[in-house]
Amino acid sequence: MKSYLTTLDWLIILFYFAVIAGISWWAVKKKKKDSADDYFLAGRHLGWFVVGASIFASNIGSEHLVGLAGSGATDGVALAHYELHAWCLLVLGWVMGPFFMRSKVFTMPEFLERRFTPQARTVLSLISLFAYILTKIAVGIFAGGVVFRALLPEVHFLGMDTFWIGSILLIILTGIYTIVGGLRAVVYTETLQTFVKIIGAILVTYYGLQALGGWDKLKEICGSEMFNLWKPVVPDGVEGTWAPVKEATRQAWYFNDKYPWPAMLLCAPIIGLWYWCTDQYIVQRILGAKNDTQARRGTIFAAFLKLTPVFLFIIPGMICFALAKSGINADIQKELIDANGQLIRERAQGAFPLLVTHVLPVGVRGIVVAGLLAALMSALAGVFNASSSLFTMDFYSRFRPNASQATLVRVGRVATVVMVVIGLLWIPVIQGARGLYDYLQGIQAYLAPPIFVVFFFGVFMKRLNGPGCLATLLTGFAMGVFRLIVDTPVKLGGAAYTEGSFLWVVNNIFFQYYSLLITIVCILVFLIVSYATKAPDYKKISGLTFSTLSEQDRLENRSSWNWKDVILSILLIVAIIAIYSYFTG
């Protein structure tokens, strides 16, 4: 068996797992009772530091270690836009969070039920579970396999290679402490994992730049294009013609894999606001906070942490590309560059673990591998708990309203296992995508628009009603699933559609433009159906929209923040603008 890890590295990794086990055990012993409130929301007693660290740890998972670093190797800083959406966390803390906290809900679908109808809750729960399986669970499993393959490339057992062995081990290890300890175990282990990941990524960046020859050398090898956030509307090198459409238009709307600036400017924020402000996976952390003050400060803290992936994951991916392209590291060049001197895109997904195995010194490598595993485990742990919360509280508890607290917890654990199995079966589709992060953003772009629309428009416009919400969710979900159905056969290696046909057009429209189309349709459907049907009872939605807030609600919200929160929020915006300015060529 070939391994890049020494005995010292393994000892460090084992020590890390021992600490994680100890924290999980402490969290389990600390809880007072086996209740749903404690299991799913940690008893609603979390402070700002734990809330913020947990949000960041949940977000910085497999898609960053594998996907974001891989995108750095293939496309430079193009996808840094998604990381610079840290401002969306301010929207959560200042705008949406108080509504969620005030409602005392367990889940986001439950909030939709209070704002609209029980049917809206059911549909959103189904969409969310569908999205978690296809994105967070399947992506986490896939990324775990990629990392283990890079660390132990020659392991075989029972007909499985390292990819599948690593994936299954990751599921088992993460599942144990998540299923036993619930959100309390998740958030406290994530607090530790946050700093392990940051330290590990800093070490990779430092030693990578040292091996390359510094920042200036990186810019010289990669070129200005890889350091520019704003990509042109029409990409270079797109060949072929399609008679009904002018070539320039065709290039702008089809086969555009360079993330053009209009798409990033208009579409990416929709995905960002959906993810950071309405997704159970993230919002569950602030629902477990003590109060509005702790929840808001937790989001501000997480927003500052969120700025680090640009430098800790994208830049290492670019460093790996530069080491391969320049030939400074022959081992990495052999892995990433083909006989024609071109980057092998599918192998670029292993950019981060390649740096770990070929650049880091002994001992340091063990610390960083622990960070890799921390990111993979924290992401999976978060989605395991969020998924079980959705299924248990939004489905099972409604059909079995008299179920005991212990039964609800047990059902949540079983639901987690079932969704993991489905996620494993979806992995071949991810393997057929052009990149993990690209796959992830594509799926989210198809499923996020209707959820974004119903939450934000629902909070800002009290006239919008249940029938409009339901029609919007169903319409948007149908459009997204239709695109997935059209795309999947191609990603699994099937024949492409006939050029110019309807299915070919659907399959080749750039995913962000298709997402924008879904958003526009959803807004129109929401408005038209709502205003064509009866207005909601404003007394029933008191406190759930801006127009129905009571004077007491407004006073409580104002008393929950002070000038320090405002100053820190402004500083975050300034930092984001500064990073945008630096990476604008």
Give the Cβ contact number of residue 422 at 10 Å.
Answer: 15
Contact between 70 and 350 (Cβ < 8 Å)? yes
pLDDT at 183 over 70: no
Buried b (16+ CB within 10 A) or exposed e, 79-113: bbbbbbbbbbbbbbbbebbbbbbbbebbbbbbbbb
**Per-residue confidence (pLDDT) for residue 243, from 0 to 100:** 39
In this model, does residue 336 exceed pLDDT 70?
yes
Q: What angle, 0 to 180 degrees and rounded to 10, lies between the N-to-C axes of helices 162-212 and 315-326?
A: 80
- The pLDDT value recorded for residue 187 is 62
Q: What is the pLDDT of residue 27?
A: 62
Decide: 539 and 468 in contact? Cβ < 8 Å: no
Spatial distance between the Cα atoms of 301 and 566, rounded to a whole number of angstroms: 13
Reported confidence tier of residue 304, pLDDT bands at 50, 70, 90: very high
Q: Tens of pLDDT along 184-223?
A: 555 666 667 677 778 888 888 999 999 998 999 998 998 8
Residue identified by tokens 């959705």 is 390
| Those residues with Cβ within 8 angstroms of residue 465's Cβ, 6 or more apart along the chain or in another chain | 116, 530, 533, 534, 535, 536
| Rounded distance between C-alpha atoms, residue 420 and residue 540, angstroms | 38
**Cα torsion 427, 194, 321, 238: sign:** positive
Q: What are the tens digits of pLDDT across the range 424-439?
A: 676 666 655 555 666 7
How much is the pLDDT for 367? 79
Q: Is the pLDDT of residue 154 over 70?
A: no
Q: How confident is the model at residue 165, as a pLDDT?
A: 73
pLDDT of residue 245: 44
**Residue 278, SS3 per DSSP:** helix
* Nearest alpha carbon to residue 35 among 22, 45, 23: 45
Mean pLDDT of the chain: 79
Cβ atoms of 504 and 442 closer than 8 Å: no
- What domains sit in the chain, N to C, each tagged with a CATH number? 7-396+408-582 (1.20.1730.10)
pLDDT for 246 beyond 80: no
The whole-number average pLDDT for the span 459-471 is 95
The reported pLDDT for the residue numbered 276 is 92
Quick check: 505 pLDDT over 70? Answer: yes
Question: Can you point out the beta strands (E) in 217-273?
Answer: none
Please spell the DSSP secondary structure of 331-381, one letter per residue: HHHHHHB-TTS-B-GGGGGGHHHHHHHHHSPTTHHHHHHHHHHHHHHHHHH
**DSSP code of residue 534:** P
Which among 127, 107, 119, 124 has a CA at the least distance from the CA of 467? 119
345 burial via Cβ count (<10 Å: 0-12, 13-18, 19+): middle
| DSSP strand pairing (156-157 vs 160-161) | antiparallel
Mean pLDDT to the nearest integer, 517-537: 96
Calculated CA dihedral for residues 424, 426, 427, 431, nearest 10 degrees: 170
* Low-confidence winner among 20-29, 93-102, 404-413, 476-485 (lowest mean pLDDT): 20-29
Between residues 190 and 295, the one the model is more confident about: 295
- The pTM for the full model equals 0.80
Q: Read off the tokens for 42.
A: 């940690």
Residues composing the chain: 585
- Tens of pLDDT, residue by residue over 230-245, are 777 665 544 444 434 4
Q: Where is 160: in which H helix or E strand?
A: strand 160-161
Q: According to the model, what pLDDT value does residue 91 have? A: 95
* pLDDT of 45 above 70: no
What pLDDT does 199 receive? 82
**What tens digit of pLDDT does each residue of 78-95 get?**
878 888 889 999 999 999
* Most confident range, picked from 21-35, 115-129, 171-185, 389-403: 115-129
Mean pLDDT of 59-80: 77
Choose between 130 and 519: higher pLDDT.
Answer: 519
What average pLDDT does range 463-481 have in this prediction? 96
More reliable by pLDDT, 346 or 293: 293
Per-residue model confidence (pLDDT) at position 270: 92
pLDDT level of residue 4 (50, 70, 90 thresholds):
low
- Which of 123-137, 238-252, 361-375, 485-499 has the least mean pLDDT? 238-252
**What is the arithmetic mean of pLDDT over 137-150?**
72
Can you tell me which residue has the tokens 């299954």?
Answer: 168
DSSP β-bridge partners for residue 46: 289
* SS3 label, residue 543: coil
Q: For the CA atoms of the chain, what is the radius of gyration? A: 23
Q: Is the pLDDT of residue 260 over 90?
A: no
Torsion angles phi and psi, residue 562, rounded to 5 = -135, -175
| DSSP tag of 231 | B
The pLDDT confidence band at residue 43, using thresholds 50, 70 and 90, is: very low
Token duo for residue 72: 């750095």
